[in-house]
Structure 1
Amino acid sequence: MIPHFTDHSANERTYLAWVRTAISVMAFGFLLERFDIFLLFTSRAAAKVTEGLHTQASQWLGLGLLLVGALMIVGATIRFYRNRKAIEAADSSMYGDSWTARGMAVLLVLMAIFLTLYVARQIAALS
């Protein structure tokens, strides 16, 4: 029997949840990076010139989300091994949130706000 098996399996489930979330963020970043193709197709289908249409921001934001997803996997891996070591240790330790998780959350919120404003501006340029 593996000592503290339930703790280890909970740690692994949490790690896998972080990895799934990171993959989703990266997939959304890839989709957003390709958002310019949709905007160009829409403007051509509308058969009108859209001077206020900017596609560079979606490419940079998409690349940023790809980077954030990769950093999430790195952070999740570090956290997994740190928690694994704490579970196996004989002494008890405090469980605390890391500043990197908070920083990533703030970064994602800022990206979401920027994306909302960006899409609203693009929709306004198309109409």
Structure 2
Amino acid sequence: MDNNTPQLRPPANASDHLANERTFLAWIRTSIALMGFGFVVVKFSLFVKQISLALGEKAVLASKGFSSAIGVVLVAIGAILAVLAYLQYRRTEQQLLQKTYQPGNLLSFSLTLGMVLISGLLIWYLLPGLH
């Protein structure tokens, strides 16, 4: 071989690209689930408020007022997760094409941190006498 011949990389392994796509789709499903759960939390909050109004001002089911905010935060986390999943998918795709794959932890860490924070908020919200 002479020095003027371009170096050809071996073709990328199709199973790696398909695995990357499956992982992306799994993250998207998780994102949709979070947004759906957030939507349910907000709608349940509205339902509780309507029941409280129907039963009168002194109803036991009176809303504490935080569930709407928690639901909106869950929807926002789901949307952010979808964007992060796409960025991770594109980054991994480029690395696979260049044969320089390095696993990343940003997406997993972000989701874990977000869920721990939301779980803490929900526990604080649900336990009586803490607020």
- TM over 0.5, shorter chain: yes
Q: Residue 24 of structure 2 corresponds to which residue in structure 1?
A: 15
Output the CA distance in 1 between the equivalents of 2:126 and 2:62.
10
Partner of 2:104: helix, strand, or coil?
coil
Q: Figure out how many residues of one structure are paired with residues of the other and give that number.
A: 118
Determine the C-alpha separation between the residues in 1 that align with 2:46 and 2:104.
43
**Structure with the greater alpha carbon radius of gyration:** 2
After TM superposition, the score normalised by the length of structure 1 is 0.78
TM-score normalised by the chain length of structure 2: 0.75
Q: CA deviation at 1:36?
A: 1.7
Identity of aligned residues (%): 29
Offset from partner CA, 1:86-122 (integer Å, 9 cap, x none): 11104x3432312x5313311211111211332344x
- The CA distance in 2 between the partners of 1:52 and 1:24, in whole Å, is 27
Distance 1:65-1:24 versus aligned 2 partners, 3 A rule: same
* More divergent stretch after superposition (108-117 vs 44-53): 44-53
> Corresponding residue for 1:113?
120
Distance 1:36 1:93, change over 3 A: closer
Shifted more, 14-23 versus 55-64: the winner is 55-64
The structure whose residues are more often helix, as a share, is 1
Q: Cα–Cα, structure 1 residues 44 and 56, in superposed 2: closer, same or farther, change >3 Å?
A: closer
The one of the two structures with greater contact order (alpha-carbon pairs below 8 A, sep at least 6) is: 1
The runs of 5 or more residues in structure 1 that have no matched partner are 122-127
Q: Unmatched 5+ residue regions in structure 2?
A: 1-10
Give the CA deviation at 1:51.
Answer: 7.5
